């Protein structure tokens, strides 16, 4: 436990550090960003790091997917539908279970996302991404352009920056997306909660994966960790994104969990008013 706390503290300091030595930022291979904006006005509250760099959204894409699913009527409420796991999917042990929308977001079940996009269909899926203005809007997929419907957001063609993440979520929270009020409310209801200090309630979604090397293969030495969402305290709301692309593999704890826990720990201090 002590080692884990020490690692979190080290990561937080690394993510928040401003490169004050001339030339250091250009030579540093680690990509990191924390950006926080006001949930009402969209004005910047805090921004540090390479927040304009776009990478694969990974499982943070389950947020817009939920919006699509509820708006299209494929998802009904927090627990309907309950889709049965099919052994033929051959997913990792943690995903081998029947899944509803709440379980999907909480446990980050990939096959549920892919079943949802299949039911949406290629055109409707692409249209939602386009009208949402999500990242680079490219859902064509990888080489061959045959897997966009089920893989576009998973180390493939779709990319988004931290700045774009908070802009998208701000538009969602302020009802600027072309989806129904019901879809907005139901999406918010299934996003996991995390309690932070000083009375802040944090809702957000993790995402993890890897960058690709020059040959196009996943590089375990370049893991991607995301945590994006919003936090509320009383009548105040902020929207955040934290990204870390590191230069070493994470074997004991998923990098996305480390990024999430560091953001939850750091947020109250970053948004405290003088």
Give the structural domain span for 182: 2-19+27-271
For the domain that residue 249 is a member of, what is the CATH number? Answer: 3.40.710.10
What are the pLDDT digits (tens) for 78-102? Answer: 999 999 999 999 999 999 999 999 9
The alpha carbon of residue 118 and the mean position of all alpha carbons in its chain are separated, in whole angstroms, by 21
Give the confidence band of 266 by pLDDT, cuts at 50, 70, 90: very high
Q: What is the pLDDT of residue 146?
A: 74
Q: How many domains in the chain? A: 1
Q: 3-state DSSP call for residue 235? A: coil
The single residue of 12, 59, 113, 256 carrying the catalytic annotation is: 59
* Mean pLDDT in residue range 155-179: 98
* Dihedral angle computed from the Cα positions of residues 53, 68, 208 and 254, in that order, rounded to the nearest 10 degrees: 140
Q: How many percent of the chain have pLDDT more than 90?
A: 85
What are the pLDDT digits (tens) for 136-155? Answer: 999 999 877 779 999 999 99
Q: What order of strands is seen across the sheet that includes strand 31-38?
A: 44-49, 31-38, 236-245, 218-233, 201-212, 193-195
- Residue 262 designated active-site: no
- For residues 210 and 188, what is the distance between their CA atoms, to the nearest angstrom? 28
Instruction: Please state, in angstroms and as integers, the Cα–Cα distance from residue 45 to each residue in 183, 237, 273, following that order.
Output: 28, 11, 10
């Amino acid at each position: 436990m002590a080692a884990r706390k020490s690692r979190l503290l080290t990561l937080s300091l690394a993510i928040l550090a401003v490169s004050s030595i001339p030339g250091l930022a250009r030579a540093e291979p680690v990509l990191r960003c924390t950006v926080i904006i006001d949930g009402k006005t969209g004005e910047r509250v805090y921004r540090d790091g390479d927040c304009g760099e776009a990478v694969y959204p990974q499982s943070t894409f389950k947020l817009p997917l939920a919006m699509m699913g509820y708006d299209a009527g494929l998802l009904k409420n927090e627990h309907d539908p309950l889709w049965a796991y099919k052994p033929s999917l051959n997913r990792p042990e943690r995903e081998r279970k029947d899944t509803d929308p709440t379980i999907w977001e909480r446990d980050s079940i990939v096959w549920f996302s892919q079943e949802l996009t299949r039911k949406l269909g290629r055109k409707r899926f692409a249209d939602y991404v386009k009208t949402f203005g999500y990242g680079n809007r490219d859902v064509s997929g990888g080489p061959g352009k045959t897997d966009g419907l089920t893989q576009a957001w998973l180390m493939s063609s779709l990319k988004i920056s931290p700045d774009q993440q908070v802009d998208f979520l701000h538009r969602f929270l302020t009802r600027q997306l072309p989806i129904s009020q019901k879809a907005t409310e139901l999406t918010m209801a299934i996003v996991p909660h995390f309690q932070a200090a000083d009375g802040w309630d944090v809702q957000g979604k993790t995402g993890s994966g890897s960058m690709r090397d020059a040959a196009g293969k996943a590089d375990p030495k370049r893991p991607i960790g995301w945590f994006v969402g919003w936090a509320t305290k009383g009548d105040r709301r902020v929207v955040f994104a934290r990204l870390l692309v590191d230069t070493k593999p994470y074997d004991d704890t998923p990098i996305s969990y480390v990024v999430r826990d560091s953001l939850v720990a750091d947020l109250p201090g970053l948004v405290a008013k003088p």
